[in-house]
Amino acid sequence: MPELPEVEVVKESLSRTITGKKIKKVSIKNRNLRYKIKKGFETRLQSKSIKKVKRFSKYIILALNDEKFCLIHLGMSGTIHLLRKNILNQKTNASFYHSPYLPKKHNHVFLEFDNIKIIYNDPRRFGYFKLFENKNNLENFINNYGPEPFSSKFNLNYLKKYFYKKKKNIKNFLLDQKFVSGLGNIYANEILFSSKINPKKKAKSLSENDCINIIKYSRKILNLAIKKGGSSIRDFKNIVGKNGSFQDNFKVYNRENKSCLSPGCKGTIKKKFITNRSTFFCYICQK
């Protein structure tokens, strides 16, 4: 599943491409995504212009000129592809888990602009589209989630209050979207490694310095991942077909049985499953 950096890369790609453009036509080949697309969705989007492309957490949000908002979630395998009509057969990509081969049976939603067509492809159909009638409705949806790591609300007092007497381990907290939104398994592993915190450590036992490090490395790692174009796993590419490169900076994720990269540490990276999620950590330097 794409995490905050990958969705940010897709958002930026779309923003540069469709902001200010009018939706000429909307076609739906399969309404049965994670949540069924309601009838009338096409007519409510058609002829609207894209005022702005935004992102919250792992969601892409298209702000329309009639003050409505179209929210897109890529789910596990959803991808967004741009087909440029003025260049024969040229497809550029703004997707996560992109394959050069795009089976037509998995193309579910089409948004057509002048000379550009957006294709939403999703083999597993865990992604979805949702239309919000106004800003208040969108904000009510967003308020169900915790702050993003970049938010000023994600601060020491927030963590100390949230962790107080909590027995849940810190890895599960970082994956809990009601606690902090946008993180997934890849970046939770990387943040805990850089913070020198064992992923099984109970939240209530975290020190103030632990909390400070979680905030610090959440922002540092996510910023670097965005700068690197995301993590290219299963051929993730941006809109111009370039791979992200943050996977070259992985210090712990997918490094089972390899030497720990912390200076002076002679440990090896172990892999365990915590709540059915693969978890990578150094048994020596993560306490």
Domain ranges across the chain = 4-142, 156-229+246-282
pLDDT greater than 50 at residue 49: yes
pLDDT in tens, 176-225: 999 999 999 999 999 999 999 999 999 999 999 999 999 999 999 999 99
> What pLDDT was estimated at residue 27?
96
Angle, CA of 258, 262 and 268, to the nearest 5°: 25
Q: Please give the Cα distance from 75 to 59 (Å, whole number).
A: 10
Q: What is the mean predicted confidence (pLDDT) over 43-49?
A: 96
> What pLDDT was estimated at residue 100?
54
Determine the angle formed by the axes of helices 185-195 and 208-227, rounding to 10 degrees. 130
**156-229+246-282 placed in CATH 1.10.8.50:** yes
Q: Please give the Cα distance from 243 to 24 (Å, whole number).
A: 30
What are 269's strand-pairing partners?
282
> What pLDDT was estimated at residue 240?
38
Q: Are 235 and 229 in contact (CB under 8 A)?
A: no
> What pLDDT was estimated at residue 105?
81
Number of neighbouring beta carbons within 10 Å of residue 259: 12
Q: What would the two tokens of residue 105 be?
A: 């049976």
Q: Please give the Cα distance from 189 to 281 (Å, whole number).
A: 7
pLDDT in tens, 90-148: 555 555 444 455 667 899 999 999 988 999 989 999 999 999 999 999 999 999 999 99
Query: Which pLDDT band holds residue 86 (cuts at 50, 70, 90)?
Result: low
Burial of 208 (0-12, 13-18, 19+ CB in 10 A): exposed
> What pLDDT was estimated at residue 236?
44
What are 97's strand-pairing partners?
none
> What pLDDT was estimated at residue 239?
40
Residue indicated by tokens 């540069």: 16
Percent of the chain with pLDDT over 70: 87
Fold of 4-142: N-terminal domain of MutM-like DNA repair proteins (3.20.190)
Q: What is the mean predicted confidence (pLDDT) over 61-78?
A: 95
Q: What would the two tokens of residue 139 be?
A: 């904000």
Please give, one letter per residue, the 3-state secondary structure of 64-94. ECCCCEEEEECCCCCEEEEEECCCCCCEEEC
- Catalytic (active-site) positions: 2-3, 58, 277
The beta-strand segments (E) located in 12-169 are 25-28, 50-56, 59-64, 69-73, 79-84, 91-93, 107-113, 116-121, 128-132
Q: Are 73 and 59 in contact (CB under 8 A)?
A: yes
Q: Please give the Cα distance from 267 to 3 (Å, whole number).
A: 28
pTM of the full predicted structure?
0.88
Q: Please give the Cα distance from 244 to 236 (Å, whole number).
A: 7
pLDDT in tens, 230-287: 665 554 444 434 555 566 779 999 999 999 999 999 999 999 999 999 999 999 999 9
pLDDT in tens, 20-38: 999 999 999 999 999 999 9
